[in-house]
Structures are given as C-alpha cells and as structure tokens.
Structure 1
Amino acid sequence: MVLFSENDKRILRTHLSGMADPVQLVFVKRDTMCPYCRETRDLLMEFAEISDKIRVDVYDADKDTGEINELGIERVPAIALLDHSLKDTGIRFYGMPGGYEIHSLLGAVLVVSKRQTGLPEDLVRQIRRVDTPLHIQTYVTPTCPYCPSVVRLIHKMAFLNPLIRADMIEVTEFPELGKEAGVKGVPKTIVNHLVDLEGALPEDQFIYTIIKNINK
C-alpha cells in the first residue's frame, strides 16, 4: 500500500536531509486483533525508505516479550524511538501517526537525530530539573491540526529528561483509553493521571502548568 504521494516524499526528503545521527524506530505489532498494525508498518517502512539514517525494527507483541517489557510497551500498534546509541528516548506513539500526526513523527525523528529541541534555554533548564518520573499522555486524532504541536512538545520533554516518558495516543484506535481519560476533545494531555490539560497551550504555559502541579 502506497501511503505517501511523490510530493509527500519530496517534502519529507527535504526535512530528513538535515538528519545528523541515525534513529531507530522500534515497531511493536500483533498479527491478530490489531486492525491498524499492518497499515502502521507500511507507513513506517515507506517513511524509512526516504532516509538511510532511519531504521525500523519490528517486534511481535506475543513473541518478543523481553524486549517489549524492557521498553514498557503497553499496547499495539506502538512505536518507540531509540537514539544512535540505541538508548531509549522515552518517545512513544500508540496508534498510527497518520494524517497530521506524520508531523509529530517527523519532528521526533529530527529531535533525536540532531540532539536539539529548539526550545528556549530557560524551558530546557526547567525540563531537565524535573526529578520525579513523569508519564505524559497526549490524546490525538489524525484529523486534528492542533495536536502535533503538543505531541512534539511532550516528545522534546522526554528527550531532554530520562525521567519523562511521553506517549502520543491515537484516540480513535484506543477508544477505551479515551473514555477512561474523559477525552471530549483533542488534544488532551494527562500527566501521571493527575494533571489534565486541554488544548494546545503555549510551550511555556504548558511546561509551567505541569511542573507547578507535580511540585504541589
């Protein structure tokens, strides 16, 4: 299945030409009871063909349990990003990063490859000072134009601090999670099942709100 047009590939190739270090995408799938696994794999394979610095490793959720448990993968389809030294970055995608979310995948790959977030230094310092484990989950849909900015930000936070894990969750693929989290609109972000943020806030306000609430 062809998922990217020639124009899409041309645009992606332009962005990915700026990659520095190689990046490994760990894709976790299941052969049954996973309607989006095949399409997600096709998307990743097409994406990786655009740059020789992107590698995709495929794990089976029912067979490769050791590797999957080490990464803390909780559901499929899932994508985890590893850096050039195969270190886990804490960046996760649960569900297919299609539609607008291809921008989130592209952004995550470039951050890991270049080892740069583009965030102001004061925000970088705040993120690096976080000394308690954070699990950030941002719920999205592929048709939401405001979601990628939030997903890219939480992934930058995970890249900067090993205590942070940041998940994109495609809510139409995981409706039970959306119901449990009370998702009425997207983007919606939950931190440690305590902090609840709705919408796409400015970067500084988003980070300040999280840090203020975890330090209560």
Structure 2
Amino acid sequence: MFKPYGLDMEAVETKFSALKNEVKLIFFTRESQCIHCKEAKRLYERLASVTHKIKYEKYNFAINAEKDREYNVFAVPALAIIGAKDYGIRYYGYPHGTELNNFIDDLIYVSRAENKLAPKVMRKIQELQKETQLKIFISPVCPYSLSVAKLGLKLAVASDQIRVDIIDAMEFLEIAEKYHVRGIPMTVVNEENSFYGALDDEEYVDALLKLA
C-alpha cells in the first residue's frame, strides 16, 4: 500500500481520534528560495484532510507581512501550531522521517493540552517572572533532539511565560550559524545564552531558569 510521506494514513486517522480541541496549522511559505516549502505544504494539507479538528491556513512570507508579525515568524518554511489558544509554538523546517510520527503526537498533545509534567517541574517553571523565549535547534536524525523538542512543546503548553521555536539546524544553516550552534540539540534562552544536550525534565528546567 502506498504511504504518502511514509505515513500509514489509516493509522494517522486512528491516532487523530484522540484529538480534543481544534488545532490550527498556520503555515508560512514562499514561492522561491525555500527548499522544502512545497513538501511541507502538501503534508499539512494532507493531515488537515484527515479530520475536521485540524484546520489549515497558508500565508506567503513577507507578502503577508502583518501575519508574519502577528505570529512572530522569521523564516520559512514555518508553522504556528495553535490549540485552544496560541501557546507560542513555532516549528521551522519540514517534519519527515522518524520526526514525523513525533510531530503527529505533538499535534495531539497541543489539542488535548494535558499537563504531563511532573509536579516538581511545574513548581519550578512557575518561578519564571517574565516571558522566556526558547530556540531549540534540532536534527531530524538525532533522537535526542526529538526528546528536547517534545519537552519544549510541553513547557510552552504548561506555562504562559514560555514560547518555543523548534528549528531544524540542517535546514536553517545561516540561523544556526547566527546562534553559534556547534552541537545538537542546543537550546537558546532569550536570544543570549544557551546550553546543549538532552537533559531530563528537571535538569532542563534548572538550566533554563539559570539563564532566563
């Protein structure tokens, strides 16, 4: 059986039965100088066709500048993942390979907005007194990257103070160079400080708090 994007669409439909709230996929693209925009567009359209709880919108980057500003998007392909509210989750890249199943699980997590962080971790992130922006640089072929990206998403859902950009470092080499990425996964906190590695949830939040 043909599996578009390597996905078993029947299995995806079954997984999407767990969706609770509507999820909006706000996709930013452009016609030129974007290697994976067409593939990403087709993927998001296909996912939205599976269930009425996934809504899809597309905007041309720079041409729709007011939308770029509204969703704080700075490169393409980019995706704003919006659940019951905007949790500040932005994905830069094209989810594929082993990353794709994790991406689908992420959509379900945002839809359900169920806090699966340990109480001790929740108490720690409540110490944040100001909005904290995370840029998490990943590689789809690095399993440690996927666990850190998942944690960043969970933190953004759990806390109104945390916003997260998940960035494919291999696709956005200039951005990775700007932030002096020398290893994966790497987390940049508030545009200034950074730390490396896939830490457990509590260690990760401790590192974040030291730099926020």
TM-score with structure 2 length normalisation?
0.90
The residue identity in structure 2 corresponding to 1:55 is K
* Partner-residue secondary structure (3-state), 2:130: coil
Three-state SS of the structure 1 residue aligned to 2:111 is helix
Equivalent residue runs for 1:166-185 within 5 Å: 166-185=164-183
1:61 and 2:98 correspond: no
Aligned partner of 1:112 in structure 2 is 110
* Aligned with residue 122 of structure 1, among 120, 134, 138: 120
Runs of 4+ in 1 over 6 A off after TM superposition: none
Confirm or deny that 1:21 pairs with 2:17: no
Q: Aligned partners of 1:69, 1:96: CA distance in 2, in Å?
A: 21
Other-structure match for 1:91:
89
| TM-score between the two structures when normalised by the length of structure 1 | 0.89
More deviation, 172-181/95-104: 95-104
Q: Deviations over 1:110-159 (max 9, x none)?
A: 22211113111221232233121211111112211221110011111112
Q: How does 1:62-81 map to 2 (within 5 A)?
A: 62-81=62-81
Displacement of 1:54 in angstroms is: 0.7
In structure 1, what residue type is equivalent to 2:83? D
1:33 maps to what in 2? 33
Given candidates 146, 151, 159, the residue that maps to 1:148 is 146
Counterpart residue identity of residue 14, structure 2: T
Aligned length: 211
Contact 1:101 1:147 in 2 (8 A): no
Match of 2:49 in 1: 49
Q: Distance in 2 between matches of 1:10 and 1:186?
A: 33
In structure 2, the residue matched to 1:3 is 4
Q: Which of 186, 189, 200 is the aligned partner of 1:188?
A: 186
In structure 1, the partner of 2:135 is 137
In the aligned structure 2, how far is the partner of 1:137 from the partner of 1:196? Answer: 9
For structure 2, list consecutive stretches of 5 or more residues without a partner in the other structure: none
Tell me how far 1:181 sits from its aligned partner. 2.1
CA distance in 2, matches of 1:77, 1:109: 17
Give the conservation status (yes or no) of the 8 Å contact 2:139–2:170: yes
In 2, Cα distance between equivalents of 1:56 and 1:88: 15
Aligned partner of 1:206 in structure 2 is 204
Q: The residue matched to 1:4 in structure 2 has which SS?
A: helix
Aligned to 1:157: 155
CA distance in 2: counterparts of 1:196 and 1:62, whole angstroms: 29
Q: How many Å separate the matches in 2 of 1:103 and 1:128?
A: 30
For residues 5 and 198 of structure 1, what CA distance do their matches in structure 2 show?
Answer: 30
**RMSD value over aligned CA atoms?**
2.0
Greater mean alpha carbon deviation, residues 181-190 or residues 90-99: 181-190
Structure 1 range deviating more: 70-79 or 129-138? 129-138
